[in-house]
Chains A and B, each alone.
Chain A
Amino acid sequence: MTLITPTGRAARPTDRTGGVLADLCILIVAAALLWGLVQMGQRASAPASMAAAQGTLDTNPWLLPGYTGQSLVRMFAALAASVVFTFVYATAAARSRRLGAVLIPLLDVLQSVPVLGFLSVTVTFWIALFPGSRMGLECASVFAIFTSQAWNMTFALHDSMIAQKQDLVESARLLRLTRWQRFWTLDLPGGMIPLTWNAMMSFGGGWFFLTASEAISVNGHSYVLPGIGSYVAAASQQRQLGRLCLAIAVMLVTVWLLNAVVWSPLLTWAQKFRLGDTGSSENSRSVVLDLLRRSHLAALATALGRSLSEVFDTLTRPFGAGTGWPAAARPRRRVGDIVCAAAIAVPCVWGALAMVGTVQAGPGLGEFGRAFALGLATLGRVVAVIVLGTLIWVPVGAVIGMNTRLRTIAQPIVQMLASFPANFLFPFVTLLLVRHHWSLNWGGIVLMALGSQWYILFNVIAAASAMPADLREAATSLGLPRALRWRTLILPAIFPAWVTGALTAAGGAWNASIVAEVVSYGDTTLRATGLGAYVADATAAGDFPRVLVGVLVMCVYVVGLNRLVWRPLGALANRRFSIA
């Protein structure tokens, strides 16, 4: 042994100084959480009937913490569902050639479906599943949030699973890991970092859908679920500006708290799963994680985890090991492929025919043409959002990203703004529009931008801060004038990130159009011409064929733009502007 080098073992917090104090802190927080849950349980179980959900919400400020708690439960329920869905769907798609050929394109389409357009369908479905109980509405709300989170997370895990390092995959097979062990020791850890990042981003985006789904008009009924989203809706309807501001403040505090208590510790912890050799991860410290690690809870959790994984190892052993030759090595079974394809194609064709039949029997096929025309108006708004967002946020983001001090201040703020649900601000904008008699046809652009523009800013900041220092130094030493510097260095360097950001922003804007093209404050309702308003009106009226037409046409717009605009731009960015 000639090469024993002292390694970074001090990096692991083996010292448990202040361990008792940490235990105490955690105990207090746990007790508070438990008390809150019990309180909520009592309240939720009492008026669980549908009748209570059809009234209006009491906007007494003292009830707001309780409402927030209930909203949080919905958010975390959706997150849990998304995680389970991700595990199953991503694994199935990555491990089976046939399933992958179907599941991944399907996911691509699902990702482009305007979630809010389907609220009417899903609410009807869930209410039918739990007749006479509020559970149906709860499930519909959770489902709406779920559909805004799951696809991203699934893609993240799937991408990491098919890009696994070859030596790790071969090790797993030669060591004869069982299927479960392979998932638990290779697939999941390998995808942990993109998964947590995506979960955090999707969770932030989920607030928007929570707000939209807690108070909805479907099939001529208005339903209200007690929560912070419906609180905003009620306060807006009752013209209570003060209480609206209060809700916004509570929301900001909640977002900040979640970040400090849940996401920041989680992301820091996930650094354990990075693949590279980089010695220490930069600027990732979390006070809460340090506290947890210092407490005796950490040791307890580790021991518990070990035992549990032992039990799982035994339980899942009958599912066998993945030691056989990968499917690609075996001759393809043509017959099996054909049977599979037929099994999928037949119901699809049947469904499509049934759908066309429904539309024809209802408003007629000409309705598609009308929806397409309305879509052009909404498309105009989406383009305006992207153009305005780009003109404003690209310069701002680039300046913030290139300035370290500015970035440390601005980054957390932008992160918070990105997860803040934009529909909390809708009443204020609506009020302005009503006061000044401005048309929602133009105001809709602002409403749609409120939620989506941050993605552009976010990505541009990240790219600008990752710009290699040598390029910037070269530009400085060449004495490039400002305009040339932007044209030859800064703009090309942030172009790939801009494409990602603008793509996400456009998707968000389409979705937002459903809640942004029909808005009300008090008794005044404003309506814009557009596909979003078309879907929203059809949803409220329970006009199922029109909902179908609207959602389908919106899907076509989103998918079409992805293929025609964003994908070529992404390819261009990869080819010409990636900084390798």
Chain B
Amino acid sequence: MTNQALIEVDDVTKAFPAQEGGTFTVLDHVDLRLEDGEILAILGKSGSGKSTLLRCIAGLIAPSEGTIRYRGAELAGANPGVGMVFQTFGLMPWLDVRENVELGLRARGVARAERTARAEELIDVIGLSGFENAYPRELSGGMRQRVGFARALVTQPDALLMDEPFSALDVLTAENLRTEIVRLWSEPDFPTKSICIVTHNIEEAVLLADRVVVLGSNPGRVRHETRIDLARPRERRSEAFGAYVDELYAVLTGQPVDPAAPATSPASNPLPQASVGGMAGLVSLVAGGPNGGDLADLAASLKFEVDDLLPLVDGATMLGLLHVDAGQAQVTDDGLAWVRSDIDEGKRLFGRLAAQRAPLVHAICAALDSSDEGTLRLDFFRDLLRRSFTREALEEQLATAIDWGRHGELFDLEPDGEVLSRG
């Protein structure tokens, strides 16, 4: 390697202990470099391990395998050269704005006078003047995130890490703050030269980044990498911008089932977290939409972001209600029949599709059919799945399967919430 990157992620695998015994792999042999002076966006669906990757880079969690180096030195704890901005801000509610901003300097033992001066300067730059003595809860979300930025930048770190920093803000505030951060970053004397942002928002990635890395899910791997060759400030409505968005959209929606995976099983093909009503809405929209099923346009027109729409798209695709190709969705015959039928007929059709095409629903039906009394405890399925999922993921899988199965009148949940019975 000729030149040293600022931060190097080298063959990192991260596995969390699954509920009992086994492990659940979130990141699978990931390589990544954050260069001096670049803005890197890590893009992925929820569950792709993008936040985990960022936390590895920050040195907040240890990788299971592989190494992370900051300026050539391997990390063994919190990364000394980064500041981080959190989706939920991470501000101490009991400290006022100035105290929050000064916290990192206090930790480094900077004398009080210098601390005050540096905090004051940054508070000014980031547009918080006049709010020095306000507490976070008195501020709007946008102002709070400004405090988050000021706190992360006051120690003049080499790299700024951002974990979905704008997704808790409303659209206008987020856009405003994005613009200001890019403006700050492009000023010649700004000390923090590199930025790594984790996001599920494709447009945000194209707007900000020099380079976009797409992580695939289950387990997280680098699936795609694109350099965004657009001059700043970037114009969302330009053709080139749209082309990048479409390219990334196609990568994210057209994700094939992992070819290495064997025949579909509840573990290899987990259920997307999609509600029945949500899928019905999506199928109706695609069926009735004027421009067919361009998902990027659909999401944009609804002011949705990928993460909001993708589980529904994935769910509808799994059930064969939609067919998606390169970001274009088409309603299948089943899908059309489903949204046009009456309640009872729709439920029957949905039940048939879920039992055929959703692996976990299929597994539950099969198990109930072969049990003597037609009832099984949920713990039975928990035991079957616990090697493949973390505790939360497992409960989400079960909840979705039960939701789908109940809607399709395939099975029912007894009042104690712990026993499934044949419908």
The reply to whether A325 and B77 contact each other, CB–CB distance below 8 Å, is: yes
Residue on B nearest A9 in the bound complex, by CB: B134
Binds A, one of B21-29, B92-100, B224-232, B337-345: B92-100
The reply to whether A176 and B80 contact each other, CB–CB distance below 8 Å, is: yes
CA distance A277 to B136 in the complex (A): 9
CA distance A154 to B326 in the complex (A): 58
* A175 touches which of B135, B139, B151, B176 (Cβ 8 Å): B151
* A3 touches which of B59, B82, B103, B142 (Cβ 8 Å): B142
Residue on B nearest A280 in the bound complex, by CB: B137
Whether a CB of chain A sits under 8 angstroms from the CB of B379 is: no
The reply to whether A170 and B84 contact each other, CB–CB distance below 8 Å, is: yes
The reply to whether A185 and B143 contact each other, CB–CB distance below 8 Å, is: no
User: Which secondary structure dominates chain B's binding surface?
Assistant: loop
* B92 touches which of A185, A279, A324, A326 (Cβ 8 Å): A185
The reply to whether B90 and A3 contact each other, CB–CB distance below 8 Å, is: no
| Interface size range of chain B in the complex | 35 or more
Residues of A near B92 (CB, < 8 A) are 168, 171, 185-186, 189
Residues of B near A277 (CB, < 8 A) are 137
Residues of A near B94 (CB, < 8 A) are 189, 192, 272-273
Whether a CB of chain A sits under 8 angstroms from the CB of B88 is: yes
Whether a CB of chain B sits under 8 angstroms from the CB of A7 is: yes
The reply to whether B78 and A275 contact each other, CB–CB distance below 8 Å, is: no
The reply to whether B138 and A174 contact each other, CB–CB distance below 8 Å, is: no
Query: Could you show 17 A-B contacts with beta carbons less than 8 Å apart?
Result: A3-B143, A5-B143, A168-B92, A170-B60, A170-B86, A171-B90, A171-B92, A171-B151, A181-B103, A189-B94, A275-B93, A278-B137, A313-B106, A317-B109, A325-B59, A325-B76, A326-B61
Residue among A11, A170, A275, A278 with max Cβ neighbours from chain B (10 Å)? A170
Residues of B near A330 (CB, < 8 A) are 62
Residue on B nearest A192 in the bound complex, by CB: B94
Whether a CB of chain A sits under 8 angstroms from the CB of B324 is: no
- CB proximity of B261 to chain A, nearest CB, Å: 29
Residues of A near B107 (CB, < 8 A) are 175-178, 181, 321
* A324 touches which of B77, B89, B140 (Cβ 8 Å): B77
Known contacts A174-B78, A313-B109; A7/B103 CB under 8 A:
no
CA distance A3 to B78 in the complex (A): 34
Known contacts A168-B90, A330-B62; A174/B176 CB under 8 A:
no
The reply to whether A310 and B112 contact each other, CB–CB distance below 8 Å, is: yes
The reply to whether A167 and B90 contact each other, CB–CB distance below 8 Å, is: yes
CA distance A167 to B136 in the complex (A): 14
The reply to whether A177 and B103 contact each other, CB–CB distance below 8 Å, is: yes
Chain B stretch 89-133: residues in CB contact (< 8 A) with chain A? 89-95, 103-104, 106-109, 112, 127, 130-131, 133
* B138 touches which of A7, A274, A321 (Cβ 8 Å): A7
CA distance A1 to B59 in the complex (A): 34
- CB proximity of A446 to chain B, nearest CB, Å: 40
Residue on A nearest B135 in the bound complex, by CB: A272
Q: Can you name 6 extra interface pairs (CB under 8 A) apart from A3-B173, A313-B106?
A: A3-B143, A170-B55, A170-B86, A171-B90, A173-B60, A329-B62
Whether a CB of chain B sits under 8 angstroms from the CB of A8 is: yes
Whether a CB of chain A sits under 8 angstroms from the CB of B213 is: no
Residue on B nearest A176 in the bound complex, by CB: B107
The reply to whether B127 and A175 contact each other, CB–CB distance below 8 Å, is: no
CA distance A86 to B47 in the complex (A): 39
CA distance A175 to B108 in the complex (A): 8
Whether a CB of chain A sits under 8 angstroms from the CB of B351 is: no
Whether a CB of chain A sits under 8 angstroms from the CB of B58 is: yes
Residues of A near B359 (CB, < 8 A) are none
Whether a CB of chain A sits under 8 angstroms from the CB of B83 is: yes
Residues of A near B55 (CB, < 8 A) are 170
Whether a CB of chain B sits under 8 angstroms from the CB of A323 is: yes
CA distance A323 to B106 in the complex (A): 15
- CB proximity of B159 to chain A, nearest CB, Å: 12
Residues of A near B76 (CB, < 8 A) are 324-325
The reply to whether A174 and B82 contact each other, CB–CB distance below 8 Å, is: yes
Residue on A nearest B109 in the bound complex, by CB: A317
- CB proximity of B52 to chain A, nearest CB, Å: 12
The reply to whether A9 and B133 contact each other, CB–CB distance below 8 Å, is: yes
The reply to whether A167 and B89 contact each other, CB–CB distance below 8 Å, is: yes
Whether a CB of chain B sits under 8 angstroms from the CB of A17 is: no
Known contacts A185-B92, A274-B93; A176/B134 CB under 8 A:
no
CA distance A178 to B105 in the complex (A): 11
CA distance A420 to B130 in the complex (A): 49
The reply to whether A325 and B61 contact each other, CB–CB distance below 8 Å, is: yes
CA distance A175 to B417 in the complex (A): 44
CA distance A4 to B86 in the complex (A): 22
CA distance A167 to B94 in the complex (A): 15
CA distance A273 to B103 in the complex (A): 17
- CB proximity of A314 to chain B, nearest CB, Å: 7
CA distance A314 to B107 in the complex (A): 10
Known contacts A173-B60, A181-B107; A3/B176 CB under 8 A:
yes
CA distance A274 to B138 in the complex (A): 13
Whether a CB of chain B sits under 8 angstroms from the CB of A2 is: yes
Residues of A near B138 (CB, < 8 A) are 7-9, 11
CA distance A9 to B135 in the complex (A): 9
Residues of A near B109 (CB, < 8 A) are 313-314, 317
Known contacts A170-B84, A181-B106, A317-B109; A7/B95 CB under 8 A:
no
Residue on A nearest B86 in the bound complex, by CB: A167
The reply to whether B108 and A176 contact each other, CB–CB distance below 8 Å, is: yes
Residues of B near A189 (CB, < 8 A) are 92, 94
Residues of A near B77 (CB, < 8 A) are 173, 323-325
Residues of A near B173 (CB, < 8 A) are 3
Known contacts A9-B134, A175-B151, A323-B77; A167/B88 CB under 8 A:
yes
- CB proximity of B18 to chain A, nearest CB, Å: 15
Q: Mark contacts of A306-332 with chain B using CB atoms, 8 A cut-off: 1 yes-contact digit, 0 otherwise.
A: 000010011001000101111001100
Residues of B near A5 (CB, < 8 A) are 140, 143
- CB proximity of B284 to chain A, nearest CB, Å: 31
- CB proximity of A419 to chain B, nearest CB, Å: 28
CA distance A189 to B103 in the complex (A): 15
CA distance A3 to B89 in the complex (A): 18
Residue on A nearest B415 in the bound complex, by CB: A576
Residue on A nearest B180 in the bound complex, by CB: A1
